[in-house]
Every structure is written in structure tokens, then in C-alpha cells.
Structure 1
Amino acid sequence: MIELHPFHSQNRRLENLVENRTIHTLNNAELNIFETHQKATQVLLQFSEPVLASMIKGKKVMHLQDSPSFGFLPGESVILPANELMCIDFPEATEQTPTQCLALAFSETKLKQATDLLNQRGLKQNGKEWSMTDYNYHFTNDIAINQILQRLIFIFTEDHPSKDIFADLLIQELVIRILQTESKSLYLKKSHVNPNNDRISFVLKYIRENITENLSIELLSEKAYMSESNFYRTFKHEMGSSPNDFIIEERLKLAESLLRNPKVSIKEAFMASGFNSFSYFCRIFKKKKNLSPTAFKEKSNTLTGLAY
């Protein structure tokens, strides 16, 4: 999870109990830290530039244009177009447990530089250019995005003569990762609803339905009717990860789901999720989940027991 750096508390002034705002400005971006110390409803907020809002602590309920309301929790972010009006509730904020959220506003120039880089590497599979989303996109941060945001908080709040340069490089990476995360989520949705609409969605569906098989690049590229090199390059460019990394991710999701079932043993979960080495399964599971399969199952089963 993201944490505020001590530099922030040293330099911020607490003037409002609801959405107290601390602003850190650089050449191509503005970092806003909002803190709320009491329950509140229908608080309005708007930015004139595209913005990434990311929760640090506590809970908000977000009401956005053309989107269902949703709980906004630590480890989650939402991309908002310029001039999007946010209506926010704070159902749990208190002086002892304040809600904290960052809002990173990007300059249009910086966004264009990042999208131009992606387009230089190749257009999307459908022939369209990469561009920043013009709708609200709510997602869960992956490890890389969390680390970038944590680093940006430090850079914005430190006193370094080159921090504009550092921030520009990180923002460029952040935008590219977000665009690929969005692209991946769209392909995953299409793979469930309309998998025959494009080659990537069809392959994602094939992977899920044949997760225990030997899913080689040669096989998957044949299913996509593409050469191996073109398939591999296109998959990484649009999904933000290699086909092999995605297969491991899907196998871990399945294993995690199975391990939550008290009736399924660790060995059964391993065999049903398509891994061909038990030691590798245990090692990669612990690396990705920060818990061994045994510890994960014990924790899940304990929580299941408490639920009853």
C-alpha cells in the first residue's frame, strides 16, 4: 500500500477537517494530498486537467458521471478526464482515522509524450492509436503502479534540484502502465463476452479453457493466426506482460480460488491449476501472494470459519 512520506506532514497545514488539501507543483504535474478528519457527504471536487486519484488510507464512496457509485479503498485508483466532477462521501472518516487520498493532475503535454512513445512502438491491434481514456477508469493498482506512486510522493515532497526530471520519467512510465492496464482489462472483458471479436480476446479465452495444457507460444500464435514473433510482440504491447506471465497469473488465480475451498487440498489445487512442478508452484505462489500455499489456505479457511 502507498504511504505518505514524513516530508508531507512536516510541510502541510491542517486548515479544514474535510478534504484538507496540500499541493506540490512541478513543471508537468501537480500532486494533491487530501485528508478528511470527519464524516461527510456530497463533497464536490473537480480538476481542469486529467487526473489520477489513488486511495492511501480509509474509505470513500465515489459518485461519478455515467458510472455506478463505488467504494474507493487503499490500493485502488481511478483515472478521470479533465473537468470531470466528483461527488464524494466519507462514511468512516474521524480525527483518529482520517481518510487520505492523492490526486495527480497531468499536463496534456506529458500525456501526449507518453502516448506518442507507445504509438512509436506500434498501434493497437485494431489499428487505433493509444490515447488517454476519455471516461472514468477504476482499477486496482499492481505492484509496479504502487511503487511508482510511492516514489512520486517522495520526489514531489523532497527538496532536490532535479526532481522535475525524476518526476517526468516516472510519470511517463506511470501513464504507459495505466494505459496497458486499461487495455488488458478491456481484452479480459471481451474474452468473456465476445471473444471472437479480436485475436487477443480469443487467445485469452483459449488460455482459460485450457489452463492445464502445455500452452506454448507456438500453439497460441497458431490460434491467433499470427507468426510467433508478431503474436508475442503484440501481446506484450497491448497487455503489458508476456503470454507466459499471463498464463502464470491465470493459473495462480485458479489456484487461489481452489485453496479457498476447505474441501480442496493443496495438492489438488496445484494439479488443477496447470503447474507441472509443485516446488515451482509453491515458490511462485509465495512470491506473488506473500504467503505460501499452506499459509494462504490456513488463513482463508480460518476466515471462512469465522464467517459462519
Structure 2
Amino acid sequence: MQLSDSFFKSRKLVDLVENQTSYELEDSAMHIFETHQRAERVQLQFGTPVLASMFQGKKVMHLRDKPSFEFLPGESLILPADELMCIDFPEAREDDPTRCLAMEIGEDRLKGVVQFMNDRMTRSDGQEWNILDYNFHFTNDLGIYQILQRLVYLYTENHPSKDFFVSNMVQELVVRILQANVRKTYQQNAKKLSGSKRLAFVVRYIRENIQHPLSIKELSDKACMSESNFYKIFKQEMGISTTDFINEERINAAAQFLKDPSTDLTEIYLACGFTNRSYFNRMFKRLKGISPSDYRRRFN
């Protein structure tokens, strides 16, 4: 993710650890933190719910009731109000700083978006949308990545309609994050939930048949829905299309196979449902950011 030229022109570098540049609007704020030297156990806390998203470098996060974990570029984290973060910066250098975005979104704003979703976006399981599980750590999908990139530009732009532009983007961001939370819940608990939730059953079916061609007709039959309704409900709840989700599952399966250096690349892409090596390579790089060969070298 790129920071805008206007950010670098206006920001003042005062601190080497967690130097903060802030932009505040009516019901949200964006902070960009930069760290230029190694540091450990740096504490940070916000009074409102926060979306943190990594731009560059690596952090090690220590949060309450959660094992320590690495926080890497392309990943985001949702934190509740008043959550005390304790952060290590193991790789930060003056010529290669760690950079992270933190967006504060007011509770009333969050509740308003959730109410909008419950009014307009009925879920297949009959449950209501709720403010998501906090300490939700996830990889940005393409939609979330593009919104964050746009928000960085909007916050740092000097435009008279900035509040209006940002407000619309924040609403879309919250919707997409709630959808990503549902998607991750189904992915992590597909087996347990498949007996009571139709989309969880479909997720489990996709995983168990990942090596075979999978059609919307086949999956909609498994969900006991028409094709058009299944396509609409799936994207509405999961935040991505059925085809994109299948490709994501196939690439995740391939990534696990690649950790075994003895497995042939041709065997891997065929076992994950791809029939074309070049398409597999393109899809892997699009979703993981590097080629399958480079990914394998990273683990070996």
C-alpha cells in the first residue's frame, strides 16, 4: 500500500518510535505511525474502536487474551476501545521503517452501519449482523485493500467535500469487514457449523471437493437455493463472489502443499483444482503477492 505525496509533504518526523501523523474528521480519524528503529514493548491505546492495517515492515503484537502474533503488510486487525496494545518492532530501521495505519471509528457510526445492514442485507441463517468480534486479525481482500488505499488519499487530500467522501468509504469499509468476519468464521468452523448453516455446509463441500470442477449450479443445489439467489446471498454474506472464494480456497490449499519441498508443483496445482499452470501462477501471485516458487523458497 502506498502513502500519498501529500502525506510526506505535510508529516513531521519527530519521534523515531511510533511517530504519529493524524487526520481527524467528524466521526472518524486516521493515524499513520512510523517507527525507524528497533523497539520492544511499546504501548498504545485508543479510546474508540480501531482498525489497524500494516503498510510496511513487521510488528509483533501482544494483546490481552490472545497469543502473541506477527502483524505483516496486507493484514488488518480490529481492536475494541481502550484495548492496550504492547508492540515489538524487530526489524525497523531508519532506511526501512515500519509503517501502520490506525483508523478510529465512532461507536455510533458502527451501530448505524450495522443497522443499515440488518435493514437491507438479510442473512441466510436468519441471524442479525452484529458489531464484529474484536481482536479480529485478517488478511485484506482486494476490496478492503482498495478502500484503505482510497482512504489514505482522501484523508490527506485538501478537498472541501472530504467529510462526505470519507463517510461513504467508511460505511463500505465496515460492511466489507463484517462480511470478511463472517467468511472467516465459516472457514474456521465449517465442519462444526455445516449441520445448521447452509453457507458453512457449502464451504465444507468446496474444501472436500477442491480438486474437482465446481459450478454455481452444483453449489446452489447443495444450499437448496436457486442459482441467482445463492449467488446473491453468498456474495452478500461472504463479501466476495463464489468463484473468487473457490480460488481463494484453492490457493490456500496450494500454499500448504508448497511447504513440503518434496511435492511437485504440477501435482500441487492439479490437486487444488487448477488445470492450467500459468493460470495457477497468476492466481497465486494475485492472492499471495509472490509466485509459488518464491513462496516455497520462503519456507525452505
Q: What one-letter code is carried by the residue in structure 1 that aligns with 2:144?
A: I
Residue in 2 that maps onto 1:282:
278
Q: What one-letter code is carried by the residue in structure 2 that aligns with 1:282?
A: S
Per-residue CA deviations over 1:100-126 (Å, capped at 9, x if unaligned) read: 111100122332332233212333344
Question: How far apart are residue 193 of structure 1 and its match?
Answer: 4.4
- Whole-angstrom distance in 1 between the partners of 2:270 and 2:182: 31
Larger Rg, first or second structure (1 or 2): 1
1:180-259 alignment runs, 5 A limit = 180-255=179-254
Q: What one-letter code is carried by the residue in structure 2 that aligns with 1:16?
A: D
- Whole-angstrom distance in 2 between the partners of 1:83 and 1:96: 32
In 2 relative to 1, CA 297–216 (structure 1 residues): closer, same or farther, beyond 3 Å?
Answer: closer
Verify the 8 A CA contact 2:51 2:77 in the aligned structure 1: yes
Residue in 2 that maps onto 1:118:
117
Verify the 8 A CA contact 2:269 2:280 in the aligned structure 1: no
In 2 relative to 1, CA 255–171 (structure 1 residues): closer, same or farther, beyond 3 Å?
Answer: same
Verify the 8 A CA contact 1:259 1:296 in the aligned structure 2: no
Question: How far apart are residue 269 of structure 1 and its match?
Answer: 4.2
Bigger mean CA deviation after superposition, 8-17 or 27-36: 8-17
Question: How far apart are residue 191 of structure 1 and its match?
Answer: 1.0
The sequence identity of aligned pairs, in percent, is: 49
- Whole-angstrom distance in 1 between the partners of 2:286 and 2:224: 38
Gaps of 5+ in 2: none
CA RMSD of aligned residues (A): 2.6
Verify the 8 A CA contact 1:262 1:301 in the aligned structure 2: no
Question: How far apart are residue 80 of structure 1 and its match?
Answer: 0.7
Question: How far apart are residue 256 of structure 1 and its match?
Answer: 5.3
SS at match of 1:69: strand
- Whole-angstrom distance in 1 between the partners of 2:269 and 2:280: 12
- Size of the aligned set, in residue pairs, is 297
- Whole-angstrom distance in 1 between the partners of 2:286 and 2:241: 22
Question: How far apart are residue 37 of structure 1 and its match?
Answer: 2.1
Question: How far apart are residue 300 of structure 1 and its match?
Answer: 5.0
Verify the 8 A CA contact 2:186 2:193 in the aligned structure 1: no
Verify the 8 A CA contact 2:284 2:291 in the aligned structure 1: no
Verify the 8 A CA contact 2:186 2:199 in the aligned structure 1: yes
Residue in 1 that maps onto 2:33:
34
Per-residue CA deviations over 1:246-265 (Å, capped at 9, x if unaligned) read: 22333344455556756425
In 2 relative to 1, CA 16–274 (structure 1 residues): closer, same or farther, beyond 3 Å?
Answer: closer
- Whole-angstrom distance in 1 between the partners of 2:22 and 2:235: 36
- Whole-angstrom distance in 2 between the partners of 1:72 and 1:303: 17
Per-residue CA deviations over 1:247-296 (Å, capped at 9, x if unaligned) read: 23333444555567564253x44543334x63xx63475256259xxx94
